[in-house]
Amino acid sequence: MKTTVILIRHGETEWNVLHRFQGLSDIPLNDTGRQQAGFAKNGLQNITLDAIYTSPLQRALETAEIIRGDRRIPVYPTDGLQEMGVGEWEGLLVSEIDEKYPGWYDVWRTAPTKVRLKGGEPFTETQKRAWKTFWEIVKKHEGKTVLIVSHMMCISSILLTIAGIPLDEIWQHPIGNGALNIVEVDGDRKAVITDWSRDDHIPEEFRLKQPFGRPK
């Protein structure tokens, strides 16, 4: 009995554009983000969904509602799917992090599991939380197709765990806003990734341009 889990990162926000760390800040979608959510909706139009689970942060919740459209299915805000809190970096631009915490943004980019931010959540804890939530959802919907709308850190940590890729390589596998990530789970609870950040349903100008690093 196959269970299909589709994972989608929320649409773009203004803080994404500015390279400002969002974390748990409740930032809404911008116009581009709403359009990306609409493209994701179109990309799923021929797929029957049993339910939608979403981070409670409004950028994810709004994405989920746009994708749901007129489908008569439930949307479940789920704390286990919220973004990784970045504590003292919350709301800071990359340039401000370079100034206030010299060298640490480079560690974030090359060995993120070594970063411990005051008031934040370590990468490894985000991974454990997201992985636990993923399987809780699978168990509730065995044999069905469900959609998860979440954030870069949560989605990537789930996919990296399935693929057996170290968490420190997270930035080498970017997740586009509105892109499709699809996982098939068989009756023996073996999970296989069939699509990773597939974005052929999104026009080129709306796709992820510069996923990580300092703004150019």
Known binding residues are 9-16, 59
Q: Which long-range contacts (CB under 8 A, 24 or more apart) does 124-131 make?
A: 124/167, 126/84, 126/153, 126/154, 126/157, 127/157, 127/160, 127/161, 127/167, 129/80, 129/154, 130/80, 130/81, 130/154, 130/155, 130/157, 130/158, 131/157, 131/158, 131/161
| Active-site annotation holds for 10 | yes
* Residue 99 DSSP SS3: helix
Catalytic-labelled residue, pool 10, 62, 121, 151: 10
Q: Write the DSSP assignment of 10-76 as a string of letters.
A: PPP-HHHHHTB--TT--PPP-HHHHHHHHHHHHHTTTS--SEEEE-SSHHHHHHHHHHHTT----EE
Q: Is 125 a catalytic residue?
A: no
Report the DSSP pairing between strands 145-150 and 3-9: parallel
How many residues are listed for the chain in this entry?
216
From the candidates 19, 65, 83, 136, which is the catalytic residue?
Answer: 83
Q: Which residues are annotated binding-site positions for substrate?
A: 9-16, 59
For the annotated catalytic residues, the residue numbers are 10, 83
